[in-house]
Structure 1
Amino acid sequence: MGVVVTSITMFLSYCFLKQRRIAKHKEMIFKRNGGTIFEKILSESEGSTQIVKIFTEEELKKSTNSFSPDNVVGQGGFGTVYKGILIDNTVVAIKKSKVIDPNQIGQFVNEVVLLSQINHPNIVKLVGCCLETDVPLLAYEYIVNETLFHHLHGKSHGSLLSWRMRLKIAVETAGAIAYMHSATKIIHRDIKSSNILLNDDYTVKVSDFGISRSIPKNKMQVSTAVQGTLGYIDPEYFISGILTGKSDVYSFGVVLVELLTGKKVNSAVATYRSLVDHFLLLLKEYRLIEVLDDQVKLDATPDQINRFAHLVKSCVSPEGMARPTMEEVKEELLALQEISGLPYTDKESFCSTGSYVSQPSSSQIMMF
């Protein structure tokens, strides 16, 4: 009996010490990942517009069946996204990033705090985070209707988006980016059609802030290592490493090209270097019909296409200074939405002139 009691005592002591070591390790990682600072900032933040929960690792593991491959709903260069169901039956998308530089922890905490304060109908909401894992985990609201990329380029969808729907998506996306630039000074840095999610009613939800950067209040730009997706990266930023809001404008301009042409950014088009270059050349030569999506040709008028195309041209200008701001882009899209017979989505900020884009006459349209 003495041997049995001693063995049980030793076993329980071992289990206790092991659990204590695990708890201490998680506490150390939590602090390393800025958890203590994060909690303090959130508790003191008067501007927070939504409650962001700090999850335990166990909660998120349980919600994803231990991060089962069956629950993977997205994968990219910066991590994996899992579908998870929380204990209250809330469905979330959990982003598990790849290992990050410990020197960037402060920046990560700052960005999570900023995202926790965003409350915009066209930006995916941050539900919570887990900071006790080696790599911080982020849980976002789950969006059911896949991405704009899927709806433009998927085999079962191609060319099914009407002109009105494309304008609606463009307006809502522009509004979300303009809000980020003005309200929170966040530059997304990876605007692309696969990061524009669509809800069941085709409401836009801009997602994936994994490489986003915040700009100090007293500055208009920041110097940083170049990150983003080839084909969408602002060429000026690619060369200089200087990131500004105009970098997002360029990337959004590329998305507008996708909306107008229905073609992938990396599509092989003639002998030109990129879809954007090909688009601009055809626009210049009044031959844009050669690259327009069939649904756009069917739904839109020549004047609408001209106005949209010249907005694209201004967005993808090689020089950032020549590009409009995202607020101006949003206003021009709203004006175009009005003449297309659509209701405004943001009447209060609507500017009726849209005069910064020079318009050719309808007789100059490239295909009619």
Structure 2
Amino acid sequence: MEALLQQIENYKKEINAYEAANAEAVETFRIKYLGTKGLVKTVMGEMKNVPNEQKKQFGLVLNEFKLFTEEKFASLQAQTINDKQETINNFDWSLPGDSFAVGTRHPLMIVRNEIVSIFKRLGFAVAEGPEIEDDWHNFGAMNLPEDHPARDMQDTFYINQNPAWLLRTHTSSVQARVMEKQKPPIRVICPGRVYRNETISARAHCFFHQVEGLYIDENVSFADLKQTLYFFVQEMFGKEVKVRFRPSYFPFTEPSAEMDISCLICGGDGCNVCKHTGWVEILGSGMVHPKVLENFNIDSNKYTGFAFGMGIERVCQLKYRINDLRLYSQNDVRFLKQFTSAL
């Protein structure tokens, strides 16, 4: 009994001498002395070894020891709060705040939003559709015969056969869904991600992003198509950029044309990007094929229209001089930080 009382006195001296410089030290005190496995619990556990005739006297000693420890803990807490308040009161609130990293949109989203903004000024609405498509909306409705290369298993990711479900190869499927639900006049752009089974390299990827446009109304001509695209190019790349159209072929348009712009890298003098031609292809376009209109019960004798489609990656590459398509999907922070100012 005497030895235990002496031990308690020693503990009191230890507790009384304890000093805490911060909240962490106060918490350390609580755990060491008042915690579930702390010193106070251990000492009070000695009650079972005290003779019955001394339990009352020893209980008073234990309670006094517990209260002493709790008061010391409360004192340490109050001291820490006062120190913290004094620090706050003495703080110079006129100092500049801590800097923090500013996020940014992905470069593809920056370009996508800019393209959408340009065409919205021309009255185009935005239409979106599913990335998993059926055969009809992706191919059949767009006048793509069954033996067209885009239907080949080497080019298209098929999810199911009979019925055929696939990852869309172009956002023309969105145009199909718009024509299915809406009658002319129709004026929409269709941005979105598409998929093709291609070898991943600096110039190609198994997925990429497109923006396609569709305008159907009475008396729509190829001249309307050209002027629309002229406006887009000048707004996106500047007034000094030159444009040319080349005859081409697409199953869903007739006549069809590829559109090139003068190379922004070399100014039309010739470089590796434009393959020393001075021109870079940015989109395909043409007048909507009458059969496509008829597939959706649109009178091709009354209505005409034009359509166009471009890869957002290609436009982004020209705008920001990006030489590797893989950079878009590698999530390299060093690459993405370059676009912080382009919010």
TM-score by length of 1: 0.24
TM-score by length of 2: 0.26
Structure of higher RCO (CA pairs closer than 8 Å, 6+ residues apart)? 2
Higher strand share: 2
State which structure, 1 or 2, has the greater radius of gyration over its C-alpha atoms. 2
